[in-house]
Structure 1
Amino acid sequence: MLIAQITDLHLGFAPGDPAELNQRRLDAVLDILIDGPNRPDLLLATGDLTEYGDIDSYRRLAQAFARCPFPVWPCLGNHDDRANFRVVFPAVPMADGFVQYEVALEGVRLLLLDTLEEGRHGGAFCETRAAWLTARLEEQRDVPTLVILHHPPVEVGIEWMNTDPCEPWVARLGRALADAPQVRGLLCGHVHRPIAAAWRGLTVTICPSTAPQVALDLSPIVIADPDGRPMIVAQPPAFALHRWTAQGLVSHFENADAAPVLARYDSAMQPLIRGMLHERP
């Protein structure tokens, strides 16, 4: 099974411009997923779907998703607005007033979480949301499960995008997952960079954004010293492909820029490929 992931679309960054940069970047990624050699079985859109949470931007997002020949499952990030999202996406399930729901697939179960606290940049995960997650995990302890959320519960080293491991919401999430051996990993967004990290015995995989990426600078920020460092960079729009098999999850990251082809599978390459494949049992 092939699961695609996009994140941090930030549609509506340029209000009133349906041809804005972030729309074009999203469309470029969807073109690859729809027409490329790795068409997924489903697409996860892991939050910050819009920049300002406005209805017009959600409507443009719905139009973009409408051309996908595979199901699209969204969750919310800190730039989103639950009420406006629900106006345009009323079919997306909710639980206790939050956009939290499960997707049952062949051989794996997805649990999508809502980590939005409106007015806050960082994540949130209250007792109500944690209770829902605990109950869902107790229902099917023998089914491999992936947890999907916008905010990663780990420090990533980019200081202004970090999650403090002492934040209460991180502890709540950790407690909910502490006795859930069926959980095989977490898929996140928010940081606008491809990152993998260990957290409480699980792998947290962070997808790069379709919107412009965050610059990689791991040096501390001194608030009193605006040093002119790059913060947002015009790297290509990107996405993740997660391949789920009986052996578990393998994640790949790709961008939408066309790369020059340096070798193709032709008669000249055939002996090399034949030899490599014949080495295997």
Structure 2
Amino acid sequence: MLIAQVTDIHLGFDPDNPAEFNRKRLDQVLRHLNEIRPRPDMLLVTGDIVDRGDAESYRRLSVALGQVNFPVWPCLGNHDQRENFAKWFPEIPFVDGFCQYEVEAGPLRLLVLDTLDEGRHGGAFCEVRAAWLNARLAEQTDRPTVIVMHHPPVEVGIEWMNTDPAEPWVDVFRQCIKGKSQIISVICGHLHRAITCQWEGTTIAICPSTAPQVALDLTPIDAEAPDNRSMIIADPPAFALHWWNGSQLVTHFDNADEHVMLAKFDKGMQPLVRSLMKERPGAE
């Protein structure tokens, strides 16, 4: 099982430009994902899929995602808008007004959550959404389960983008997953950087964006004293691949730029590959 992920597309940031920079970056990643082998079994699109929540951007996004050769499962981020999203993605389920649903992924079970609080940058997870998650988790307590959501529930050190661990929604979500050993990973976006950490007995995997990335700066920031630090940088458009190896979900991060090859598997490298493979248990 191979699950691809893109996040923070921000389509429509430059709404009147038919050659929009963010669309070009998205297309570059999607072409790459279509061409890689093994081919992904599905694509997760983890929020901020458009920039202004407008219907036209969702229309353009539906066209862009139409080029993907495998199923696409989106969730909503703080730049999204439920009503306009639902018009262009009517096949995506809503429950009690929230975009939350389950995906069967072979040996895995994916639970997609809605952390959107329209008009606010930070996340939200209310008792209604929590009740749905609790009910789903109670249904299958032994099956490996992945939570998919936009906002990470963790503080990562980039102060202006951080989730404050004291936010009420974080504790609501924590109480849902606490002690649920079937949860093997929480897959997120939002931060425009590749980040992983441990939280409440599971792994948080945060995907870098197809749009420009957030600069890595762990120094404190004073909102009243601009200091000319880098905030957004033009690093290549990126994605994640989550590979289920039968017992663990392994996350790889990469970008869609051309990679300069320094070595290839030819006869000169064959002895090294042979020797490495022979070290494996059971090899002849």
TM-score (norm 1): 0.99
Q: Secondary structure at the match of 1:134?
A: helix
Residue in 2 that maps onto 1:37: 37
Tell me the equivalent position of 1:149.
Answer: 149
C-alpha offsets along residues 5-55 of structure 1, whole Å, 9 cap, x if unaligned?
000000000012231000000000000000123421100000000000111
1:84-116 Cα distance to aligned partner (Å, 9 max, x none): 000100110111110000001211100000000
Q: Which residue of 1 aligns with 2:125?
A: 125
Which aligned pairs between 1:72-151 and structure 2 lie closer than 5 A?
A: 72-151=72-151
* Structure 1 position 53 matched with structure 2 position 67: no
1:160 is the counterpart of 2:125: no
- Letter of the 1:250 counterpart: V
Q: Distance in 2 between matches of 1:53 and 1:19?
A: 19
2:153 corresponds to which letter in structure 1? Answer: P
**Alignment-derived partner of residue 233 in structure 2:** 233
- AA of the residue aligned to 1:45: V
Measured in 1, the distance between the counterparts of 2:225 and 2:267 equals 59
1:270: which partner in 2? 270
Identity among equivalent positions (%) equals 60
AA matched with 1:240: A
Count the aligned residue pairs.
Answer: 281
Tell whether the 8 Å contact from 2:243 to 2:249 is kept in structure 1 after alignment: yes
Structure 1 residue 82: deviation in Å?
0.2
1:137-194 CA distances to partner (integer Å, 9 max, x unpaired)?
0011111100000000000100001001111100000011113211111000000000
Cα separation, 1, equivalents of 2:238 and 2:259: 13
Q: Could you tell me which residue of structure 1 aligns to residue 216 of structure 2? A: 216
State the one-letter code of the partner of 2:65.
F
Q: Specify the SS of the correspondent of 2:12.
A: coil
- CA-based RMSD of the aligned residues comes to 0.8
CA 1:215/1:259 → structure 2, altered by over 3 Å: closer, same or farther?
Answer: same
Equivalent position of 1:196 in the other structure? 196
Aligned counterparts of 1:119 and 1:144: Cα–Cα separation in 2: 34
Matches of 1:254 and 1:245, distance apart in 2: 19
Consecutive unaligned residues in structure 1, runs of 5 or more: none
Q: Which stretches of structure 1, 4 residues or more, deviate above 3 A after TM superposition? A: none
What is the rounded CA distance, in whole Å, between the counterparts of 2:273 and 2:72 in structure 1? Answer: 36
Q: Deviations over 1:231-265 (max 9, x none)?
A: 00000000000001222110000001101111110
SS in 1 for 2:197: strand
Task: Give the aligned residue type for 1:53.
Answer: G
Read off the aligned partner of 1:253 and give its amino acid letter.
F
Q: Distance in 2 between matches of 1:37 and 1:237?
A: 19
CA distance in 2, matches of 1:257, 1:113: 30
Contact 2:179 2:201 in 1 (8 A): no
What SS is found at the alignment partner of 2:160?
helix
Per the alignment, residue 177 of structure 2 pairs with 177
CA distance in 1, matches of 2:52, 2:157: 27
Aligned to 1:63: 63
The range that moved more, 77-86 or 35-44, is 35-44
Q: Which residue in the other structure is 1:20 paired with? A: 20
- Which stretches in structure 2 are left out of the alignment for 5+ residues? none
Give me the whole-angstrom Cα distance separating, in 2, the residues matched to 1:131 and 1:168.
16
2:67, 2:15 → 1: CA distance? 23
**Partner of 1:252 in structure 2?**
252
Does residue 1:205 correspond to 2:208, yes or no? no
Mapped to 2, the partners of 1:133 and 1:257 lie a distance apart of: 37
Q: Which amino acid aligns with 1:157?
A: G
Q: CA separation in 1, counterparts of 2:211 and 2:38? A: 21
Q: State the secondary structure of the residue aligned to 1:227.
A: coil
Counterpart amino acid of residue 132 in structure 2: W
- Give the Cα–Cα distance (whole angstroms) in 2 for the partners of residues 55 and 16 of structure 1: 14
